[in-house]
């Protein structure tokens, strides 16, 4: 089993992204050896936590899975080249398969990597623990935790935090709240994956940058973010579209429309603008979402 996963991982880290489908399909087939309780989704105060079954289905988003696995591989390679004895990793939102790190742990076979595996769903953590046992990777486990990552408390600092709990334009799932809560737990030279999420608005012939989420900019404590005023030309009607770009690590980037998490979101139309501008509001609650103020 270890060899089989290693072959698949080598394929993932050596294939050009145009060939990612074949490599990720083999990964899906590998993971299908493990059966788990499909469970229920959970609506948290800051967004939806996908059910164990749906978390596993995220593997099917080929370009996403491929780019994140490559980004994590590169980050671990670089962290292992640092002097520190132990590389402390937190993986928040593992889903049922923890795919962004388990194949990499199997490849590196290095006890210096110590991982805290976190998910809100017991069934997911049980399955991750079962896969880790099968692969003989318990030496890499710092702990398994079933908890809401936005409430997680520890005195520890991490070299690497991995968390992909997002949907397009940062809607629906709790990425903003999770990144905001976990970023202070990074060491000063620590890496958060994804490094940066950028949202731009596109309408008429304009493209404005409206929001950026990174370890330094976690939208602070706001629950309501308001964009700058977007000027419109009169009588030139177009959709107002939000575009998402995810910078995972270094040159591993998911551009807009490459994945379910970077699909464009049509938010409205300039036809509804009352005067000569509109603004966008991003509200963080149990279903984070954007609204347009057509009359700012």
Ligand X SMILES: C[S@@+](CC[C@H](N)C(=O)[O-])C[C@H]1O[C@@H](n2cnc3c(N)ncnc32)[C@H](O)[C@@H]1O
Position of minimal CB gap to ligand X: 93
Between 120 and 201, whose beta carbon lies closer to ligand X?
120
CA 64, CA 253: separation in Å to the nearest integer? 9
- By CB under 6 A, is residue 125 in contact with ligand X? no
- By CB under 6 A, is residue 178 in contact with ligand X? yes
Provide DSSP, 175-238. HHHHHHHHGGGEEEEEEEES-EEEEEEEETTEEEEEEEEESS-S-TT-SEEEPPPEE--TT---
- By CB under 6 A, is residue 160 in contact with ligand X? no
Sign of the CA dihedral running 130, 29, 11, 124: negative
Q: How far is the CB of 201 from ligand X (least distance, A)?
A: 24
3-state secondary structure at position 35: coil
What is the distance of C-alpha 284 from the center of its chain? 17
Between 24 and 87, whose beta carbon lies closer to ligand X?
24
Only one of the segments 47-55, 133-141, 235-243, 262-270 lies at the binding site for ligand X (rule: CB under 6 A); that segment is 47-55
Sign of the CA dihedral running 227, 250, 168, 217: negative
- 3: number of Cβ within 10 Å: 8
Q: How far is the CB of 103 from ligand X (least distance, A)?
A: 12
- By CB under 6 A, is residue 119 in contact with ligand X? yes
Build a one-symbol-per-residue string for 65-94: x at contacts with ligand X by CB under 6 A, - elsewhere: ---------------------------xxx
Nearest to 119 by CA among 152, 149, 141, 158: 149
Between 105 and 149, whose beta carbon lies closer to ligand X?
149
Between 172 and 277, whose beta carbon lies closer to ligand X?
172
Residues forming contacts to ligand X in the complex (CB under 6 A) are 44, 49-50, 55, 58-59, 92-95, 99-100, 118-121, 124, 148-150, 164-165, 174, 178
């Amino acid at each position: 089993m270890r060899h089989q996963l290693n072959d698949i991982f080598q394929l993932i880290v050596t294939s050009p992204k145009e060939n990612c489908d074949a490599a990720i399909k083999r990964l899906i087939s590998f993971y299908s050896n493990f059966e788990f309780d499909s469970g229920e989704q959970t609506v948290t105060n800051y967004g939806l936590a996908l059910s164990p079954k749906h978390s596993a289905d995220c593997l099917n988003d080929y370009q996403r899975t491929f780019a994140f696995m490559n980004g994590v591989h590169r980050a671990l390679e670089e962290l292992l080249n640092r002097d520190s004895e132990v590389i402390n990793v937190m993986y928040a939102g593992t889903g049922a398969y923890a795919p962004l790190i388990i194949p990499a742990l199997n490849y590196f076979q290095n006890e210096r990597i110590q991982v805290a595996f976190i998910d809100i769903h017991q069934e997911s953590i049980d399955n991750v623990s079962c896969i880790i046992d099968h692969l003989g990777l318990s030496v890499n486990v710092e702990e398994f935790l079933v908890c809401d990552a936005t409430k997680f408390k520890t005195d520890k600092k991490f070299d690497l935090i991995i968390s992909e709990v997002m949907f397009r334009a940062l809607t629906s799932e709790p990425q903003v709240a999770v990144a905001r809560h976990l970023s202070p737990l990074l060491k000063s030279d620590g890496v958060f994956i994804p490094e940066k999420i950028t949202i731009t608005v596109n309408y008429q012939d304009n493209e404005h940058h409206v929001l950026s989420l990174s370890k330094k900019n976690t939208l602070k404590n706001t629950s309501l973010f308001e964009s700058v005023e977007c000027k419109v030309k009169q009588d030139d009607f177009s959709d107002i579209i939000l575009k998402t770009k995810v910078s995972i690590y270094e040159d591993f980037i998911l551009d807009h429309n490459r994945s379910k998490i970077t699909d464009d979101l049509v938010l409205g139309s300039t036809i509804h603008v009352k005067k000569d501008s509109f603004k966008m509001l991003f509200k963080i609650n149990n279903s984070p979402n954007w609204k347009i103020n057509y009359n700012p």
